[in-house]
Amino acid sequence: MTDAAPQPVFLKDYTPFGFLVDQVELNVHLHPTATRVRAKIAFRPNPAARDRRFFLHGEDLTLISAAIDGTPVTPEITPEGLSCPVPEAPFTWEAEVEIAPAENTALEGLYMSNGMYCTQCEAEGFRKITFYPDRPDVMAPFRVRIDGDLPVLLSNGNPVAQGAGWAEWNDPWPKPSYLFALVAGELVATSDRFTTSEGREVALNVWVRPADQGKADYALDSLIRSMKWDEEVYGRAYDLDVFNIVAVDDFNMGAMENKGLNVFNSRYVLASPETATDRDYENIERIIAHEYFHNWTGDRITCRDWFQLSLKEGLTVFRDSQFSADMRSAAVKRIEDVMTLRARQFREDNGPLAHPVRPESYAEINNFYTATVYEKGAEVIGMVRRLVGPEGYAKALDLYFARHDGQACTIEDWLQVFEEATGRDLTRFKRWYSQAGTPRVKVTEDFKDGTYTLHLEQKTPPTPGQDEKLPQVIPLALGLLSPNGDEVLPTTVIELTEARQEAVFEGLAAKPVPSLLRGFSAPVILERDSTPEERAFLLAHDTDPFNKWEAGRSLAREVLIAMVTEDAAPAPAWLDALAAVVRDEALDPAFRALALRLPGEDELAEALADRGAVPDPLAIHAARERAKTAVARHLDPLWAGLYAQMACPGPYSPGAADAGRRALRLAALGYMARLDGGARAQAHFSAADNMTDEIGALSVLLETGGADEALDRFARRWGHDRLVMDKWFGLQATLAAPERAVAVTRALTEHADFTWKNPNRFRAVIGGFSANAAGFHDASGAGYDLVADWLIRLDAVNPQTAARMSTAFETWARYDEGRREKAQAALERIAAREGLSRDMGEMVGRLLAAGRIAA
């Protein structure tokens, strides 16, 4: 059945479950096609609930038997679950079901990956394991026995006992079912110990398949640093005797914070210098920290319902950003976070999929694991911290942990602790959780008799379902520079709360140059008329590293837009300013490498659409190519010196300092290739002794042509390593020249190693191609058709990943009529499929509805 408009669930309809769960006992007897799960669950009536209907979620389960207090019962079963009359007093529910993990290609619930069993239960996967009130506000201690003829049998909590073919685990901390996990397989551990600040001895293990042994050291090291950091910065210690991490090859998400047993996509665990890039190491460090930090912000304190997802995700992303900033360069981390925010969240906020940080309805919750809930949610917490100060923040967090430990909470609970701890009224601030869209702050100014006045106007554009917007509370950090480059006003935070307001600065000798939104103090778009000279001035003199970068970035954006719309030559002022930054040895190499990265094609298309133009993907691509060649020529005298100077002495280290040097060196290599035909890049590729250099040089060759031989050598060398080959697949799809991109991607999908049911491989190729803006938006519509075909195919086996990849079409309405017609036809073709999943039905419906309005 085609169901393009699946039934939504609403936040306002929340009611508590009629029963509490005192204890869950699970007995899982593993078999690839006939796993038996016996559940014994102690229920009692919930005094806080009025509705006493006994409904347990359950999908794709074969019920073998059910009993209440030992008496067999015959429940009424639907595709969503079962209901049954139950006593008015505490009772014990027992049920045995059969499931087939080997046939579970959706990778939700219990499934198999390369011979190992594993689970993914967030958000609603536990209902595919047994009948249960599968909602986050039902928390219970779990005791689990696993039977299976595999050497390693893991579940949540502490080990109780084990023997040949069985193991028992006990998790004393009450948890919702989405945090349940079970892993069984032939696995080897990299291990260490950690003594918590409370004196608890914890055994740490990172489990991988035997072939991957030796690649878990960095993950383990990251875990230990995360544990220490959370004790020092948040006062949070770990609370079980073991902490297990398992790497799994087939995984829909990045990683999952199951209590005491984190399950990871293997790409965020496995690393060696030869196979992982600097970026991979950084991601491993960040994601290990993220999942570990969830132990308090997510596990001990969880969400009342899935509308509150940002309560755990926004906060935990904010915490992992703080951690990364402490481990590495805070300035570079901030710039990279903002680049990601703009590329993913601003794009989402400005398109058909815009939704508030706390959505008010959904048809499929898996579709709301979004940049808005995660990254914008983290920005909102950063703003709270800026408004109440670090001490107020620390006080509020202490209160949050003390008051809500063991509870399933809401955004209201979260804001309440800030109001109580700091005395600040956050009523208006709460709009950040309910109002979608990126606020625009328009700035004009005047200067008279030593008084400088900023006139600030804010407006949030309409988003689907939300036409009228109210003003937001916006902490605007700013500084003022005198015309000679001195800072006359150090960073000061002013709070915007009204649609229009003014900020007045007196006693200035000359009209200052403002440095606005320092550190990107709020997730807004600043609109202010500026000149290339002023931007170059800020790039040279701003003391705020974020705004220094921002000045260069906006300068580059303006230059590129002029190149697209007016066929202008690249502005010499920009090239000179860029040269000055690259030459400045006082600047962190990582910062200089970022400054050399030009705004992406999608960012330029967005900027053009924002000005009312219809972006032409090919013209944007061509202008960007011309700009790169102009940079290469203008800075030609610098490259060779930089390339030599940035070589890292000594063996490979993934630390920030060396990674920054490699990034700058590879940036130089990329520009040099535009002048020397790629000769140096070929040599760099051949001499590389680590993956960062190897893949970096390969990317350069792919961009400038002449990569064929290197691609073959790479594939011969790494054909056995699936994670490395994901890079090989992904790069070709992303970097293919526009006119060849569809053909290259189609050929990749016909490659014998295109194991498309593996989410990483699918994302590498189809996601990589979607990121190739000029290729995907090919005027023929062939790019849309290619992606639509594969989304349809994947949807039948893995709806969650397929639906997520449909965001490729997020921007279709901004293009010309010909492209819009073809994109719409591709989307309509998906929508019309028989048996389309709820996930994909909801996504395509939203993409089409809002796009049609815009068109």
Which of 297, 811 has the CB closer to Zn ion? 297
Answer for the pair 532, 574: CB distance below 8 angstroms, yes or no.
Answer: yes
Query: Minimum distance between the CB of residue 307 and Zn ion, rounded to whole angstroms?
Result: 16
Which of 316, 521 has the CB closer to Zn ion? 316
Query: Minimum distance between the CB of residue 691 and Zn ion, rounded to whole angstroms?
Result: 26
* Secondary structure (DSSP) of 736-755: S-HHHHHHHHHHHHTSTT--
Q: Whose CA is closest to 190, among 216, 212, 209, 211?
A: 216
Answer for the pair 454, 503: CB distance below 8 angstroms, yes or no.
Answer: yes
Which of 325, 688 has the CB closer to Zn ion? 325
Answer for the pair 366, 392: CB distance below 8 angstroms, yes or no.
Answer: no
Query: Minimum distance between the CB of residue 181 and Zn ion, rounded to whole angstroms?
Result: 14
**What pairing do the DSSP bridges indicate for beta strands 201-208 and 242-248?**
parallel
Answer for the pair 579, 638: CB distance below 8 angstroms, yes or no.
Answer: yes
**Angle, to 10 degrees, between the axis of helix 601-610 and the axis of helix 617-634?**
120
CA distance 126 to 61: 11
740: which residues sit within 8 A by CB, 6+ positions away? 775
Where residue 9 falls (left for φ over 0; alpha for ψ -120 to 50; beta otherwise) is beta
Which of 122, 250 has the CB closer to Zn ion? 122
Please report which helix (H) or strand (E) contains residue 124, including its range: none
CA distance 486 to 481: 5
CA distance 90 to 67: 14
Which of 313, 658 has the CB closer to Zn ion? 313
CA distance 828 to 41: 45
Q: By the criterion CB under 5 A, which residues form the site for Zn ion?
A: 313, 316
- In the numeric block, the tokens 């032939």 are attached to 186
545 by DSSP, 3-state: which?
A: helix
Q: Whose CA is closest to 190, among 205, 209, 170?
A: 205
Handedness of CA 731, 732, 736, 742 (dihedral sign): negative
CA distance 409 to 308: 8
Query: Minimum distance between the CB of residue 313 and Zn ion, rounded to whole angstroms?
Result: 5
Which of 285, 313 has the CB closer to Zn ion? 313
Query: Minimum distance between the CB of residue 617 and Zn ion, rounded to whole angstroms?
Result: 33
Query: Minimum distance between the CB of residue 123 and Zn ion, rounded to whole angstroms?
Result: 12
Which of 299, 550 has the CB closer to Zn ion? 299
CA 489 to chain centroid:
36
CA 688 to chain centroid:
30
Which of 112, 123 has the CB closer to Zn ion? 123
Q: Whose CA is closest to 811, among 366, 350, 370, 371?
A: 350
Backbone φ, ψ for residue 182 (5° rounding):
-145, 135
Query: Minimum distance between the CB of residue 295 and Zn ion, rounded to whole angstroms?
Result: 11
Give catalytic status of residue 313 as yes or no. no
Which of 258, 458 has the CB closer to Zn ion? 258
The one catalytic residue in 94, 122, 168, 291 is 291
CA distance 581 to 552: 9
Which of 265, 316 has the CB closer to Zn ion? 316
The encoded tokens of residue 221 equal: 């090291």
Q: Work out the number of other CB atoms within 10 angstroms of the CB of residue 79.
A: 7
CA distance 26 to 177: 12
CA geometry: angle 636, 641, 642, nearest 5 deg = 90
Query: Minimum distance between the CB of residue 254 and Zn ion, rounded to whole angstroms?
Result: 8
539: which residues sit within 8 A by CB, 6+ positions away? 548, 551, 552, 555, 577, 580, 581
Q: Work out the number of other CB atoms within 10 angstroms of the CB of residue 170.
A: 18
Which of 104, 316 has the CB closer to Zn ion? 316
- Which residue stretches of 294-376 are H helix? 309-327, 330-340, 347-349, 371
Which of 275, 283 has the CB closer to Zn ion? 283
Which of 458, 800 has the CB closer to Zn ion? 800
Query: CA dist 222 to 281, 286, 406, 444, 477, Å?
Result: 10, 8, 27, 46, 32
120: β partners = 109
CA distance 345 to 364: 20
Query: Minimum distance between the CB of residue 305 and Zn ion, rounded to whole angstroms?
Result: 17
Answer for the pair 37, 96: CB distance below 8 angstroms, yes or no.
Answer: yes
Please report which helix (H) or strand (E) contains residue 202, including its range: strand 201-208
Please report which helix (H) or strand (E) contains residue 65, including its range: strand 62-68
CA distance 548 to 541: 7
- Active-site positions read 291
